[in-house]
Structure 1
């Protein structure tokens, strides 16, 4: 038995103790059960039981029924979505299933959300112009590659701030890309 910290990520459970590190992907879990404040998991390398109290059933639900990417990104039915430089076919298909109003290749006026693929500083410079195409309570999601020296999280944050936007959320877009959500500050809406 070890005492430590458990983290529930979007696709894996992580446990860290002074002498133990454990990372279990949801897809590796054979069974998940929440009972009496305990979360019990069976996986190929063994079993783990975490005392989580009232959080145990919530964690079990998140593990057994993880949110889809578009749910994590907050896409709702009927939203107007613009894709700028983002040609991911699976993502486009998921969006079209949720909302018929998806515009590709440019930012449509009165967009609820714009997804901007950013591979470098030049792409980030577009944020100031793109915000003119979102509704006052809309958002710009900047999707950029993970672990690159030429485009970093700090650089994306700085570009958003320079464009007059505020960051409100970060999400794993894929195994290779991260997404940062920017909105117009409340006092400018």
Structure 2
């Protein structure tokens, strides 16, 4: 009986192959020193969808380096509430009370525009992903993308659903 168990173990070990239980290794596992941030070479403004000549509003986000990047891509930048509809709105958020601005900001964007909520990454703030998603849904928006904004901040994009877009 003991010989039978050994045979089963050998067959199981053989079927797994040399890569172990997870199967064939991906190309990322072959270079363990690379992180996701090092793999992505796409510029930040391209990740965020800022096109040349885009109308952008920045609210509660005091990042001089980001404003400098924006000015290099577009001249139509507004700090605070814009007078006319924008393509993109960037809102800085530190706690749940900052998310109430989503209700107001959805009226600032074009039907195919987006609102980016920039917040501290990980456990650095009281905001969780679910807080952002819930606030977006209550404002009539859905989240459809996340991006690393900086080493300490992440961003989540909110847009109108196709069926809910204003005409």
Higher RCO (Cα < 8 Å, 6 or more apart): 2
C-alpha displacement of 1:4? 2.1
Q: Give secondary structure in 1 for the equivalent of 2:103.
A: helix
1:121 match: 96
Between Structure 1 and Structure 2, the one with more helix by share is: 2
CA distance in structure 2 between the partners assigned to 1:86 and 1:69 by the alignment: 16
Distance verdict in 2 for CA 1:135–1:147, change over 3 Å: same
Quick check: which has more Rg, 1 or 2? 2
RMSD between aligned residues:
2.4
The CA distance in 2 between the partners of 1:27 and 1:124, in whole Å, is 27
- Return closer, same or farther for 1:108/1:176 CA change in 2, 3 Å cut-off: farther
TM-score w.r.t. length of structure 2: 0.77
- After alignment, is 142-151 or 80-89 more displaced? 142-151
- Counterpart position of 1:85: 60
1:164 aligned onto 2:140: yes
Q: 1:5, CA displacement in angstroms?
A: 3.2
Greater strand content: 1
Summarize the Cα distance change of 1:180–1:108 in structure 2 as closer, same or farther, 3 Å threshold.
farther
Cα gap change, 1:103 to 1:27, in 2 (>3 Å): closer
8 A contact 1:141–1:182 mirrored in 2? yes
In 2: Cα distance, 1:131 partner to 1:153 partner: 19
**Structure 2: tracts of 5 or more residues without a match:** 1-17
C-alpha contact 1:84 1:107 (8 A) present in aligned 2: no
Cα drift, residue 187 of structure 1: 1.1
Aligned to 2:33: 23
Whole-angstrom distance in 2 between the partners of 1:27 and 1:176: 13
1:23 to partner: Cα distance? 3.2
- Written as runs of structure 1 = structure 2, the 5 A alignment for 1:175-186 is 175-186=151-162
The SS at the match of 2:52 is coil
Structure 1: stretches of 5+ with no match in the other structure:
8-14, 29-61
Alignment partners' CA distance in 2, 1:110 and 1:120? 26
2:4 alignment partner in structure 1: none
